[in-house]
Structure 1
Amino acid sequence: MKKAFVILTRNPMSLAGLILVGTVIILAVFADFIAPFPEHRGAVVDFVNFNKPPNARNWFGTDLVGRDLFSRIIYAYRISLMLGVVVLAIAVPVGVSLGLMAGYMGRKTEFIVMRITDIFLSIPPLVLAMSVMGLLKPTLTNGMIAVTVMWWPWYTRLIYNITRSERQEGYVLAAEVLGASKLHIMFREILPNCVPSILTKMTLDFGFVILIASSLSFLGLGVQPPTPDLGSMVAEGARYLPDSWWLTVFPGLAILVVVFGFNLIGDALREILGVDE
């Protein structure tokens, strides 16, 4: 792990990704101390300063009710990162466990798990998330559920393919001869060889989870006002282009920064860990 970090810091592109992601994390964690107007994350109205372009007091300008856009973007980062952590914390264990079971146990287990996985994968991710949100009330929690439902099948498919190629390897056959249980073989023998692929995909997926969640909010199906969210901020500002351009440009750039940062780190990890495309 230490060697991988050293290599990451020596690669200009991955170093840029680490700086971008690190900056976003610091802003989100210490938002209460960094945001110029922390009270503007909620239902605050300041008509004296409404809809002002970027200036010395409000670096990113203000929205239609006078709230500081920079402060709201910082708090929106906190929401986005929390959503990404929760979604992957649920989707990865579920998808990995099912992939190991289907790949190693085979037969009926493989058929049932992979056919269900194929059904989920056959539906466009955003459409599937929108369908789930159509059945639920638009909230942050339900948004996490919607994105999680669409994310686990990708890990199931990935681990299933790796497990199928690993189950005939010598170390697996040796464990079977020694009488190791199926759970031991799956989680103690095969799973460690899947970790590089899992870590790489998680890093790449983190940015995409935030992007999908922002897309749901853009459509009005995610986090609801007055809670700051990057997608809903873009949607609100889009109605006032090009005059009030800052309402859309800065939240859009905020999404670009975090997604681009995680993609740079993920690409670098793929090269360092030797993960195939």
Structure 2
Amino acid sequence: MSEPGSPVLPKRGGSKAVAAYFANPLSIAGLVIVAVIVLFAVFADYLTPFPDHVGPIGDFAAMNTGPGEIYKLGTDTMGRDLFTRIIFGYRLSLIMAVVVLAIATPIGVIVGLVAGYKGGWTDYVLMRLTDVFLAVPPLVLAMAIMGFLEPTLMNGMLAITAMWWPWYARLIYNVTRAEAQEGYVLAAETVGASTAHILFREILPNCWPSILTKMTLDVGFVILMASSLSFLGLGVQPPTPDLGSMVADGAKYMPDAWWLSLWPAIAILLVVLGFNLVGDGLREAFEAEG
């Protein structure tokens, strides 16, 4: 699996890339995992057996019931169906990932494009600022930010966004530095094209495969980071179903009520694995396209 911020080198995609992707069984497996998770998350209200168990109200007569015929994954300490809460936890995690990447990616891409193309003091200032953020471990930075904010969904997304954009800035900076020496950029400069045109119409299209690959990989990492914050009590607060907080709450009752932590932990593992397999498959497919 790739680490956050790891460089991806592909440039273009097409029919050859699609064929290469579907020729890899692991890529197909990742796509199936992601598709099933997204399907359940989107239609959770209709596909879960106890949609009313999302809130604080449960069934105390069924509290701490192990996996069985009625409750496939068991219930929690308030008698709420774990399967239902995990699926709604997926919905929340995916929303967080989409919002974080929708904010962090444009910021990082613009910083990387400008620094990589302009060079000089612009390069120095922007990339040193990026290096300052990269020097701090991501989870530590997010915890520090959340220490000053109320633990809510919005603040959690802001904290993760603040630590995520530098990875895109560093990636696109490296790609832009290489692309700036290509003939098509020199030709655009020769005919007097504006800087904005060169950055967003010439260089950026050749960065998209790298951006898309990294975004796919990062969905899993963002979800893992959000779950880590919730596990520490700094993320989404109860009764909202969150995978990280479910693992933390269930840990108090191990090993007797093992299902309380095990199933949410496996759910986190599956979503991270699925998006990593899809991201790795995209990278290999783009590289095959050349």
TM-score range (shorter-chain normalised) is over 0.9
Matching of residue 255 in structure 1 with residue 237 in structure 2 = no
The SS at the match of 1:87 is: helix
The SS at the match of 2:181 is: coil
> How far off its partner does 1:2 sit?
6.7
* Aligned match of 1:174: 187
Matching of residue 219 in structure 1 with residue 232 in structure 2 = yes
Matching of residue 203 in structure 1 with residue 212 in structure 2 = no
* Aligned match of 2:144: 131
The SS at the match of 1:135 is: coil
> How far off its partner does 1:10 sit?
3.2
Would you say the 8 A contact 2:31–2:274 is kept in 1?
yes
Deviations 1:23-63 (A, max 9, x none): 00000000000110000000113110000100100001000
Which of residues 66, 85, 89 in structure 2 aligns to 1:76? 89
Q: Which amino acid aligns with 1:94?
A: I
In 2, the alpha carbon distance for the partners of 1:151 and 1:200 equals 15
In 1, the alpha carbon distance for the partners of 2:14 and 2:132 equals 40
In 2, the alpha carbon distance for the partners of 1:141 and 1:191 equals 30
Identity over aligned pairs, percent: 64
* Aligned match of 1:21: 34
* Aligned match of 1:234: 247
Gap runs ≥5 in structure 1:
none
Deviations 1:181-205 (A, max 9, x none): 0010011111111111111111111
> How far off its partner does 1:11 sit?
1.8
- Structure-2-length-normalised TM-score: 0.93
> How far off its partner does 1:114 sit?
0.5
Q: Which amino acid aligns with 2:208?
A: V
* Aligned match of 2:8: none
Would you say the 8 A contact 2:18–2:285 is kept in 1?
no
Matching of residue 148 in structure 1 with residue 161 in structure 2 = yes
> How far off its partner does 1:6 sit?
4.3
Matching of residue 37 in structure 1 with residue 50 in structure 2 = yes
Which of residues 62, 65, 82 in structure 2 aligns to 1:52? 65
Q: Which amino acid aligns with 1:83?
A: M
* Aligned match of 2:172: 159
Deviations 1:62-93 (A, max 9, x none): 00010000000010000000000000001101
* Aligned match of 2:104: 91
* Aligned match of 2:9: none
Which of residues 62, 75, 81 in structure 2 aligns to 1:62? 75
The SS at the match of 1:274 is: helix
With a CA cutoff of 8 Å and minimum separation of 6, indicate the structure with the bigger relative contact order. 2
What is the RMSD computed on CA atoms of the aligned residues?
Answer: 1.1
